[in-house]
A and B are shown apart, each in its own frame.
Chain A
Amino acid sequence: MYAIARQRILGQSFQKMRPAVSVLRSYSSAAKQITVRDALNSALDEEMSADPKVFLMGEEVGEYQGAYKITKGLLEKYGPERVLDTPITEAGFTGIGVGAAYYGLKPVVEFMTFNFSMQAIDHIINSAAKSNYMSAGQISVPIVFRGPNGAAAGVGAQHSQCYASWYASCPGLKVLSPYNSEDARGLLKAAIRDPDPVVFLENELLYGESFPVSDEVLDSSFCIPIGKAKIEREGKDVTITAFSKMVGYALKAAEILEKDGIYAEVINLRSIRPLDRSTINTSVRKTNRLVTVEEGFPQHGVGAEICASVVEESFAYLDAPVERIAGADVPMPYAANLERMAVPQIEDIVRAAKRACYRSVPLAAAA
């Protein structure tokens, strides 16, 4: 846990150095920009005030204002009975959250990072995900597990794993991964209102980024349906699927590809389970080529599932093999240059898209 304290201090200074990227959108009623952090905070605030059964639980969510300041101000507003600082006992407090959810309370359990959720994974899978099935519908578990997922900057192997594919393989869980502020607000509100266990995978490096949001996003009843992907950018030549931080990279790659005359369609998955197979397949049937992008380990990853789904349903429409971009098949190294190589970069996505379009020599070696 020392590493996380050090990383918090470093991470915050990191965020100051990194320019806030605002991706251009063509909203008619745009203008207001909020960070993902504020989006999550406002979503939690609104849901807690709307329903007294919602409460927060996790390490440092209260007096510390949240390890990443997501829960800032909520302790003052709702008191220590609804914003609980827990001891460092993931297995214990996750189980307590599940037990409370059995009785209809709506806990939002924060893991400081999803790496620590491995200490509690028995409760997430065995007590939460499987309970509705084992009890034949008598006991539903309206709980949300949220926290940062995936690689941050220089935090080493034990703090950088992406858990999307692990949780998404388990029936009984819903797994969501937002990209921008609109996703963050809408999906978190939907997750809290959902009667099933939801794993909500955020990204630490996105917390500080601002995105423009429309007025309807800021409305307190705004909700995004679980299980629908969003087409962030329309195109006709190649489909690129991504989630979380990789959506930003995919969009930038699409801009670069446009200069070479390749118009990429970028799909923001939003929901890893249930996976929006129909949107992905419809897009592939239109473009005939697919590149899947994710940050996690390649074997048995989200890209593997998407590839299998497309091969099962749209094989005849594919003009090229599916390209799978994932993190390197190694535990995350610490050195900055090695870390850069272990995580997909924009150039990798561009190269893969060009390969799918037969525009370059296949399998260029990594630099």
Chain B
Amino acid sequence: MATAFSAAKFSTQPFHLNPTSTTSHDSPLVFANPTSQFLGSTRKLHLTSSSKFNLTRRSGTVVAVSDVVKQKKSKSAPTLLITKEEGLELYEDMILGRAFEDMCAQMYYRGKMFGFVHLYNGQEAVSTGFIKLLKQQDSVVSTYRDHVHALSKGVPARAVMSELFGKTTGCCRGQGGSMHMFSREHNVLGGFAFIGEGIPVATGAAFTSKYKREVLKEADCDHVTLAFFGDGTCNNGQFFECLNMAALWKLPIVFVVENNLWAIGMSHLRATSDPQIYKKGPAFGMPGIHVDGMDVLKVREVAKEAIGRARRGEGPTLVECETYRFRGHSLADPDELRDPAEKAHYAARDPITALKKYLIENSLASEAELKAIDKKIDEVVEDAVEFADESPVPARSQLLENVFADPKGFGIGPDGRYRCEDPKFTEGTAHV
């Protein structure tokens, strides 16, 4: 079935997004927003009609997908975007994310979890929409808001909860914490506290994928990397450096912007000269897409296309997901600056409620089935908490472990063992 992309794939014709609106001038002073309600500041915005996006200037496509999908769905007979199994999988993943994060908040206020905890409530559609399309060997790089990315990628809830409790059974043996979720098995490369730090690392992972295919001649290596980051990061130098290099070297990466309009207490509109982040993609030679991040099906459609592009070797894509976090920046954030009307607006667009409605209306699942999933996930999360509670704290000797892969500093010999353990090491070329 034709995806939203194919309708406007790299064409240079001007693309009317909302044929019923009057055209407005693309004046830089007026914040022209796409027709998806782009609220997001402490002051009220005048909702101007959408501007005609002039595509003739650039080779990359700049598209607001949300409207295209909406129009397509209303015009033709409802063609379903997902099957029942997929639907239930998406629902379960989002419920897991939500239930887990809610439990984290509870545990934090009970003192079981400490330090910095950044919760993902409200943004589940982005994580589920993208990560559920990946293979195990594809990698995900995230920020400090990484619990749900790790869960979507397949890290067991028990391992993540133990890590948050600081127990030795955690995915990083308690040494990483909330902000540093790593899993070699599931290719979750962290978990970075500095914003923008994960983007070059993700670009490097994508570089490895290309290197393996072209230099090491592993012909079937088509691993894709997803880099998740926020709106605040899009003003950071490393972001632009990596957009440049990823497009220059055509790396298999998708840059996913989780634009939740707020960087702690700094509104995106107060911090950015041009708030439309997806436009920054074509400036570097890659397509820039804007999608409604509160709708998992729309995100999934865009993700399919972007990941497909990367897998085929066509290069990177910048996807801006307009989403919202229902809680504050972290559990220590009193969240006083955000307008309650804005919060209510987005709470009404809860991605889980929306998917539930879609599944039921299109007879893909019954209420009972969905309730069963809710119950199952509740049990999973309870079990994770119990497991974490009962796990031991790290032993004292663990403090000095894992600083180096090769602690003695003599290197690892060709047989894979530490050289210093080899008695013949002191002969020959070594100066000991």
Asked if A127 and B429 sit within 8 Å, CB to CB, the answer is no
Give the complex CA separation of A194 and B180 in angstroms: 24
| Best-surrounded residue of A55, A99, A133, A139 (most CB of chain B within 10 A) | A99
Considering the complex, give the chain B residue whose CB is closest to the CB of A95.
B200
Q: How distant is B291 from chain A, measured CB to nearest CB, in Å?
A: 25
CB < 8 Å neighbour of B432 from A131, A132, A225: A225
Give the complex CA separation of A142 and B175 in angstroms: 20
Question: Which residues from chain B contact A100 at a C-beta distance below 8 Å?
Answer: 204-205, 207-208, 211
Asked if B47 is an interface residue, CB under 8 A from chain A, the answer is: no
Question: Which residues from chain A contact B228 at a C-beta distance below 8 Å?
Answer: none
Considering the complex, give the chain B residue whose CB is closest to the CB of A103.
B208
Asked if B204 and A96 sit within 8 Å, CB to CB, the answer is yes
Asked if A135 and B180 sit within 8 Å, CB to CB, the answer is yes
Asked if A219 is an interface residue, CB under 8 A from chain B, the answer is: yes
Asked if A226 is an interface residue, CB under 8 A from chain B, the answer is: yes
Question: Which residues from chain A contact B190 at a C-beta distance below 8 Å?
Answer: 131, 134-135, 139
Asked if B204 and A97 sit within 8 Å, CB to CB, the answer is yes
Question: Which residues from chain B contact A132 at a C-beta distance below 8 Å?
Answer: 402-405
Asked, given contacts A99-B205, A127-B192, A225-B430, whether A134 binds B175 with beta carbons under 8 Å apart, the answer is yes
Asked if B203 is an interface residue, CB under 8 A from chain A, the answer is: yes
Question: Which residues from chain B contact A96 at a C-beta distance below 8 Å?
Answer: 200-201, 203-204, 207, 242, 245
Asked if A92 and B241 sit within 8 Å, CB to CB, the answer is yes
Give the complex CA separation of A139 and B194 in angstroms: 18
Give the complex CA separation of A217 and B431 in angstroms: 11
Q: How distant is A87 from chain B, measured CB to nearest CB, in Å?
A: 6
Asked if B201 and A127 sit within 8 Å, CB to CB, the answer is yes
Question: Which residues from chain B contact A105 at a C-beta distance below 8 Å?
Answer: 208, 211
In the complex, chain A residues 205-251 whose Cβ is within 8 Å of any chain B Cβ: 216-217, 219, 221-228, 230
Asked if A136 is an interface residue, CB under 8 A from chain B, the answer is: yes
Asked if A114 is an interface residue, CB under 8 A from chain B, the answer is: no
Give the complex CA separation of A140 and B175 in angstroms: 15
How many residues of A are counted as interface, with CB atoms below 8 angstroms from the partner's CB atoms? 61
Asked if B401 and A137 sit within 8 Å, CB to CB, the answer is yes
Asked if A277 is an interface residue, CB under 8 A from chain B, the answer is: no
Question: Which residues from chain A contact B216 at a C-beta distance below 8 Å?
Answer: 52-53
Give the complex CA separation of A86 and B203 in angstroms: 13
Question: Which residues from chain B contact A196 at a C-beta distance below 8 Å?
Answer: 404-406
Asked if A102 and B176 sit within 8 Å, CB to CB, the answer is no
Give the complex CA separation of A89 and B174 in angstroms: 34
How many residues of B are counted as interface, with CB atoms below 8 angstroms from the partner's CB atoms? 59
CB < 8 Å neighbour of B403 from A126, A139, A142, A172: A172
Contact indicator per residue, chain A 136-152, by CB within 8 Å of chain B (1) or not (0)? 11111010000000000
Question: Which residues from chain B contact A138 at a C-beta distance below 8 Å?
Answer: 172, 182-184
Give the complex CA separation of A105 and B212 in angstroms: 9
Question: Which residues from chain B contact A321 at a C-beta distance below 8 Å?
Answer: none
Give the complex CA separation of A39 and B432 in angstroms: 21
Considering the complex, give the chain B residue whose CB is closest to the CB of A81.
B215
Asked if A123 is an interface residue, CB under 8 A from chain B, the answer is: yes
CB < 8 Å neighbour of A89 from B244, B404, B406: B244
Give the complex CA separation of A186 and B411 in angstroms: 12
Asked if B81 is an interface residue, CB under 8 A from chain A, the answer is: no
Asked if B338 is an interface residue, CB under 8 A from chain A, the answer is: no
CB < 8 Å neighbour of B203 from A95, A134, A190, A227: A95
Asked if B197 is an interface residue, CB under 8 A from chain A, the answer is: yes
Give the complex CA separation of A53 and B214 in angstroms: 12
Asked, given contacts A55-B211, A105-B208, A190-B411, whether A137 binds B192 with beta carbons under 8 Å apart, the answer is no
Asked, given contacts A91-B200, A98-B200, whether A228 binds B432 with beta carbons under 8 Å apart, the answer is yes
Contact indicator per residue, chain B 399-420, by CB within 8 Å of chain A (1) or not (0)? 0011111101111100000011
Asked, given contacts A92-B242, A127-B201, whether A81 binds B211 with beta carbons under 8 Å apart, the answer is yes
Asked if B429 and A226 sit within 8 Å, CB to CB, the answer is no
Asked, given contacts A52-B215, A195-B412, A223-B429, whether A92 binds B194 with beta carbons under 8 Å apart, the answer is no
Q: How distant is A239 from chain B, measured CB to nearest CB, in Å?
A: 18
For chains A and B in complex, what number of residue pairs have CB atoms within 8 angstroms?
190
Question: Which residues from chain B contact A82 at a C-beta distance below 8 Å?
Answer: 215
Asked if B248 is an interface residue, CB under 8 A from chain A, the answer is: yes
Give the complex CA separation of A227 and B431 in angstroms: 11
Asked if A223 and B430 sit within 8 Å, CB to CB, the answer is yes
Asked if B238 and A195 sit within 8 Å, CB to CB, the answer is no
Question: Which residues from chain A contact B202 at a C-beta distance below 8 Å?
Answer: 99
Question: Which residues from chain B contact A122 at a C-beta distance below 8 Å?
Answer: 194, 197
Contact indicator per residue, chain A 316-332, by CB within 8 Å of chain B (1) or not (0)? 00000000000000000
Asked if B237 is an interface residue, CB under 8 A from chain A, the answer is: yes
Asked if A95 and B429 sit within 8 Å, CB to CB, the answer is no
Give the complex CA separation of A11 and B394 in angstroms: 54
Asked if B429 and A195 sit within 8 Å, CB to CB, the answer is no
| Best-surrounded residue of A91, A195, A230 (most CB of chain B within 10 A) | A91
Asked if B182 and A139 sit within 8 Å, CB to CB, the answer is yes
Question: Which residues from chain B contact A142 at a C-beta distance below 8 Å?
Answer: 405
Give the complex CA separation of A33 and B204 in angstroms: 39
Asked if B311 is an interface residue, CB under 8 A from chain A, the answer is: no
Asked if B199 and A95 sit within 8 Å, CB to CB, the answer is yes
Asked if B88 is an interface residue, CB under 8 A from chain A, the answer is: no
Give the complex CA separation of A219 and B412 in angstroms: 18
Q: How distant is B221 from chain A, measured CB to nearest CB, in Å?
A: 11
Considering the complex, give the chain A residue whose CB is closest to the CB of B253.
A99
Asked if B211 and A227 sit within 8 Å, CB to CB, the answer is no
Question: Which residues from chain A contact B214 at a C-beta distance below 8 Å?
Answer: 81
Asked if A226 and B401 sit within 8 Å, CB to CB, the answer is no
CB < 8 Å neighbour of B205 from A102, A131, A133: A102
Asked if A271 is an interface residue, CB under 8 A from chain B, the answer is: yes
Q: How distant is B417 from chain A, measured CB to nearest CB, in Å?
A: 12
Give the complex CA separation of A172 and B402 in angstroms: 9
Question: Which residues from chain B contact A95 at a C-beta distance below 8 Å?
Answer: 197, 199-201, 203-204, 238, 242
Give the complex CA separation of A127 and B214 in angstroms: 26
Considering the complex, give the chain B residue whose CB is closest to the CB of A135.
B182
Question: Which residues from chain A contact B343 at a C-beta distance below 8 Å?
Answer: none
Asked if B173 is an interface residue, CB under 8 A from chain A, the answer is: yes
Asked if B429 and A91 sit within 8 Å, CB to CB, the answer is no
Asked if B245 and A87 sit within 8 Å, CB to CB, the answer is yes
In the complex, chain B residues 199-254 whose Cβ is within 8 Å of any chain A Cβ: 199-209, 211, 214-216, 237-238, 241-242, 244-245, 248
Asked if B355 is an interface residue, CB under 8 A from chain A, the answer is: no
Asked if B151 is an interface residue, CB under 8 A from chain A, the answer is: no
Contact indicator per residue, chain B 247-288, by CB within 8 Å of chain A (1) or not (0)? 010000000000000000000000000000000000000000
Asked if A101 is an interface residue, CB under 8 A from chain B, the answer is: yes
Asked, given contacts A94-B200, A95-B200, A100-B207, whether A89 binds B245 with beta carbons under 8 Å apart, the answer is yes
Give the complex CA separation of A134 and B202 in angstroms: 17
Asked if A226 and B237 sit within 8 Å, CB to CB, the answer is no
Given contacts A53-B216, A92-B200, A96-B203, 20 further A-B contacts (CB under 8 A): A55-B211, A81-B215, A86-B245, A93-B200, A99-B206, A122-B197, A132-B402, A132-B404, A133-B402, A135-B176, A136-B182, A139-B182, A139-B184, A142-B405, A195-B405, A195-B412, A223-B430, A224-B431, A225-B410, A225-B419
Question: Which 4 residue pairs across A and B have the least CB separation, nearest first?
Answer: A99-B204, A95-B200, A92-B241, A227-B409
Q: What is B's interface to A at a CB cutoff of 8 Å?
A: 139, 141, 172-176, 180, 182-184, 189-194, 197, 199-209, 211, 214-216, 237-238, 241-242, 244-245, 248, 401-406, 408-412, 419-420, 425, 428-432
